[in-house]
Amino acid sequence: MFGFESLLPRPVEVVPAPGSCVWPVDVVVRRSTEQPAEGYRLEITPDSVTIDCSDDAGEFYARQTLRQLRGPGAFRTVSSGQSTLPCGVVTDYPRFSWRGCLLDVARNFRTKAEVLRFVDLLAAHKLNVLNLHLTDDQGWRIEIPRFPRLTEVGSWRTGSMVGRHDGPERDGRPHGGFYTVDDLREIVAYAAERAVTVVPEIDIPGHARAAIAAYPELGPGEPYEVWTSWGISTSLLNTEESTVDFFRAVFDQVLEIFPSPIIGLGGDEVPGATEKHGWFVRQIVEHLHSRGRKALCWDEVLEIGELPHPVVIGSWRGEEAGVWAVKDGHQVVMCPEQYVYLDHRQSDHPGEPIPVGYLHTLEDVYAYEPVPEGMPDTTGLLGTQAQVWTEHLDSVRRVDYASFPRLSAFAEVAWTPAALRDYTEFLPRLREHHLPRLDALGVEYRPLDGPHPWQTRPGVPGRKR
Ligand code: ACM
């Protein structure tokens, strides 16, 4: 029988009791202000299951815990989970309120069905934010009815770079796709049913070449194609008032689709940024604020001058920006590339496919501590987020490989108190209890001892750091 020792992320407290309960049984749900936000108390007796929670998320997580206790069969679309549950009481709540994962659907498009599946996988891990990176130099993925060329032109490119960033080779294979307004509303609603908030990101004023390809008047002057290279493009949005107006209208459409109180505007990697680019970003921060929302910005925006309002900083280039931002009165999501970039290589195994970035083993991700040294207090620290950039992940199978099981380790970092985290205990729990759940879900994760032969990409050069 799968017992409490199998749960992932590890719960705050478990008090086992003798006996077992035969499933299915009616689940009694009681709302109680005694439970913290997203928390729950789950009591299983020989003839009853009771959930106490203060909100829908708490009930959802209690039901995920029950699902895990029913074994891997409960993760199949036609459930074949075990019919007995262990008796006892689980008292549980998350360490952080922002337990996120970024999915880049701009570099390599993922279909709506694949995004919904990714939401399911986040929810099964008690992660609660999907930061959807919708626009970049290589593709614009969100329908904006007022500006149809954004998707007519901006959602397609003629080919893609494969592997390293410094060669002339392209695959010569057109790539594209976008989500309609209705698709995105569906994703938002589906995620909400699973306690996941979709935080969209429209990247400005860099990483915007797909928009410039669609509407050249937004750019530096000359015509551009949607970019077929990876890397940091130097073609930036210009800082004309009309360009700011254009993006105010784009963000207004974004706000109509996404109820998230926090909306991403990018702000990262703006080579040769001028004072006016800082001004551009501040205009959009201001605009979101005037509409009752808050901007999520990458940490570079701390360098562009005073921001008009507190924002949420994604501390990605390291941990210092996060510490500094909290001191400066902003909120922070810790997502440093040195620890939680899941597109980065998982090992120095010779078969590791397209090995890029820093070495982030499963153990490294598990060891990540989101409260950095020097953080003055944690009131501004919303939580932490793993990042799945997709330059080198050109299929859902590649996304599975890069994400799992490291995202399972990350889920425990984001949920479980640091004092309860122990890799020597986690690893056998993952191997014996959680990988079978991922198998049942059909997730093509990286095996612990290295890739399957069909998961390698011989001959495609990486870019290690
Ligand atoms: C980032 O990785 N450019 C946020």
User: What is the predicted pLDDT for the residue at 82?
Assistant: 77
**Closest ligand 1 atom number to CA of residue 314:** 4
The CA-to-CA distance between both ends of the chain, in Å, stands at: 44
pLDDT for 1 equals 61
Q: Does residue 168 register a pLDDT over 90?
A: no
List strands edge to edge, sheet with 13-22: 13-22, 84-92, 40-45, 48-53, 27-31
Q: What is the pLDDT of residues 15-40, one digit of tens each?
A: 999 999 999 999 999 999 999 999 99
pLDDT of residue 79: 85
Q: How confident is the model over 376-409, as pLDDT tens digits?
A: 889 999 999 999 999 999 999 999 999 999 999 9
pTM of the full predicted structure?
A: 0.98
Per DSSP, the three-state class of 320 is helix
**350: its two tokens:** 């010779």
Instruction: Provide the token pair at 376.
Output: 């003055």
Q: Classify the phi-psi angles of 329: left when phi > 0, otherwise alpha if psi is within -120 to 50, otherwise beta.
A: left
Q: Kindly tell me the sign of the dihedral angle through the C-alpha atoms of 392, 142, 259, 110.
A: negative
What confidence score (pLDDT) does residue 76 get? 96
Is 344 one of the annotated active-site residues of the chain? Answer: no
Is the CB of residue 362 less than 8 Å from the CB of residue 347? no
| Cα 297 to ligand 1 centre (Å) | 10
Of all atoms in ligand 1, which is nearest to the CA of residue 387? 2
Residue 429, pLDDT above cutoff 80 = yes
CATH architecture of 98-464: Alpha-Beta Barrel (3.20)
pLDDT band at 338 (very low <50, low <70, confident <90, very high): very high
Over residues 227-238, the mean pLDDT reads 96
**Does residue 269's CB lie within 6 angstroms of at least one atom of ligand 1?**
yes
* Residue 336: exposure state from Cβ atoms within 10 A (0-12, 13-18, ≥19): buried
Q: Which of 337, 342, 343, 356 to mutate to test the pocket of ligand 1 (most atoms within 8 A of CB)?
A: 337
pLDDT in tens, 127-146: 999 999 999 999 999 999 99
Asked whether 109 lines ligand 1 (CB < 6 A), one says no
Q: What is the pLDDT of residues 64-108, one digit of tens each?
A: 999 999 999 999 999 887 789 999 999 999 999 999 999 999 999
Q: Domain residues of the chain, as ranges?
A: 4-92, 98-464
Classify domain 4-92 by CATH number. Answer: 3.30.379.10
Looking at 207, 287, 360, 433, which residue is catalytic?
A: 207
CA dist., res. 226 & res. 214, Å (int): 8
Q: Report the nearest-CA residue for atom 2 of ligand 1.
A: 316
How much distance in Å is there from the Cα of 432 to the middle of ligand 1? 35
Q: How far is the CA of 261 from the centre of ligand 1 (A)?
A: 21
The answer to whether 360 is a known catalytic residue is: no
CA of 327 relative to ligand 1 center, distance in Å: 22
Question: What CA–CA distances, in Å, run from 206 to 200, 232, 298?
Answer: 16, 8, 12
Q: Among 136, 165, 298, name the best residue to mutate to test ligand 1's pocket (greatest count of ligand atoms within 8 A of Cβ).
A: 298
Q: Give residue 268 CA to ligand 1 midpoint distance, Å.
A: 6
Q: What are 182's two structure tokens?
A: 């209705």
Q: Which of these is catalytic: 120, 269, 328, 439?
A: 269
Backbone phi, psi, residue 262, to 5°: -120, 130
Is-catalytic flag, 136?
yes
Q: Looking at residue 381, what is its pLDDT?
A: 98
Residue 266 Cα: closest atom of ligand 1 = 4
